[in-house]
Amino acid sequence: MLRFANQPHAASYYAATVNDTTRHPALDESLDADVCVIGAGLTGISAALNLAERGHRVVVLEASKVGWAASGRNGGQMIGGFACGVDEFSKHLPEADVKRMWAMGLETLAIVRERVAKHRIDCDLTDGYLTAANKPRDVASLRKWQDEAANRFGYNRFRYVEEEDLPRYVQSSRYLGGLYDPDSGHLHPLNYTLGLARAAVEAGARIFEDSCVTALREENGAHVIETERGRVKARFVVLACNTWLGPLAPDLARKIMPVGTYVIATEPLGEARAKALMPAQAAVCDSRFVLDYFRPSPDGRLLWGGKVSYSTFAPRNLADAMRRDMLKTFPQLADVKIDYAWGGFVDITMNRAPHFGRLSPTVYFAQGFSGHGVNTTGLAGKLIAEAIDGQASRFDLFDKIRHRDFPGGATLRTPALVLAMAWYRMKDLL
């Protein structure tokens, strides 16, 4: 793994408005545990919390800080379902199991709400999410999906928003309509992650920051996990490293790709102006492949995300570049300053389906959330805990989804995907 000890959280709006400054020590001793979780993002912390609640002795090792990577930097969009859509599941599963996957996609949202309420996590959880149509073909696609959700899965909560009604959600002339989901929403992802970490500690888990794992091996029927100054001996291991997996599990790392995505936060707009910009206070993303996503903050800012990049290089003059994109949707914000600009990597799979499975009977992993990690990670942690306790039927559904390596190997896969992204950008323009 790469080394990130003593690095602070990214200089983001989230870090500036964090409400929990708890720090955890670095591991400097030898410990025994039932489960060692590697990675203290949303996946790892969710797994740790679920396992600790079931009575397991849990140790979490984090190379940097809790929520340091994507879990604490993302757009905060809490989107029901999975990034791949149900058609991908239909390639691998019978219809009855596809419907189980659909139900688990909704369960991801319930898990977040349950955790926030149970543990009193102050993370600005707000209901409502709109997919905005950029093209007439997107209008047709969204209407079709509304019908399929109702007829195939019995989900009647989607509401199609006609173009003339869009100003109730977003004051922009850029979109032709949208599909509103009242069950999805948005939140402050860093405060949510830190709140889950607090709950995990209260349940008995031990978290160690600045404790990069340097080796993982089997010894006398147990797993030995080494850091620079300590080691953990455990019966089970959970790999929750996503794009930072590195050499710990190269076969897994080849099945995900780090994708850069970026966010800006405006200065406070003032209560009246902020409310007029997005009256319903819902999160929004557009319908393009290379999409923009945005949402209001509780203190009257606009949080604008996008500039998705497969090159791993951040855009030059990030704040200005993002601001130009924002003004294409909201030209009325031309006088508004940008207070924060930041970015990071999310992990995607080739088919955009989440990748859950086992490297061995006692080494579990979950990765490849492909932009749906805010809530899908909660399901991952729950299913891993179920499986370790011998109730693996739901976890094993995900293991039936076939995942391919990204082509090109370590050298060529990034240039290949940069070319693919250019193609999709062209398609978005047509």
Query: Residues 174, 134: contact at Cβ < 8 Å?
Result: yes
Please identify, in words, the CATH class of the domain defined by 1-125+187-255+353-399. Answer: alpha beta
- Which residue intervals of the chain bear CATH 3.30.9.10? 127-183+257-348+408-430
The series of mean pLDDT values per 10 residues for the chain, 430 residues long, is 63 96 96 98 98 98 96 96 92 97 97 98 98 95 97 97 97 97 98 98 98 94 96 98 84 87 96 97 89 96 88 80 96 98 90 95 95 96 98 96 80 50 47
Q: Determine the pLDDT at residue 407.
A: 78
Q: For the chain, what is the total number of helices (H) and then of strands (E)?
A: 12, 17
Neighbouring CB atoms inside 10 A of 102's CB total 20
Neighbouring CB atoms inside 10 A of 211's CB total 27
User: Where on the phi/psi map is residue 257: left (φ > 0), alpha (ψ -120 to 50), or beta?
Assistant: beta
Distance CA 430, CA 423 (A): 11
Distance CA 63, CA 145 (A): 41
Eight-class DSSP state of 220 = T
Q: How many residues does the chain have?
A: 430
Place of tokens 């929403």: 185
Domain formed by 127-183+257-348+408-430, architecture: 2-Layer Sandwich (3.30)
Neighbouring CB atoms inside 10 A of 144's CB total 10
Q: Using CB atoms within 10 A of its CB, is residue 429 exposed (0-12), middle (13-18) or buried (19+)?
A: exposed
Among residues 365, 167, 178, the alpha carbon closest in space to that of 253 is found at 365
Query: Residues 161, 130: contact at Cβ < 8 Å?
Result: yes
Q: Are strands 77-78 and 213-219 parallel, antiparallel or unpaired?
A: unpaired
Structure tokens, 107: 């369960």
Structure tokens, 276: 């007029």
Structure tokens, 265: 């936060």
- Which residue intervals of the chain bear CATH 3.50.50.60? 1-125+187-255+353-399
Query: What sign does the dihedral 185-191-197-201 (CA atoms) show?
Result: negative
Distance CA 125, CA 183 (A): 12
Question: 196 by DSSP, 3-state: which?
Answer: helix
Q: Using CB atoms within 10 A of its CB, is residue 430 exposed (0-12), middle (13-18) or buried (19+)?
A: exposed
Q: How far is CA 301 from CA 120, 134, 182, in A?
A: 24, 24, 22
Distance CA 167, CA 404 (A): 42
Distance CA 9, CA 297 (A): 19
Q: Determine the pLDDT at residue 236.
A: 98
Query: Residues 225, 39: contact at Cβ < 8 Å?
Result: no
Q: Determine the pLDDT at residue 194.
A: 98
380 contacts: CB under 8 Å, gap ≥ 6: 43, 46, 47, 354, 356, 366, 369
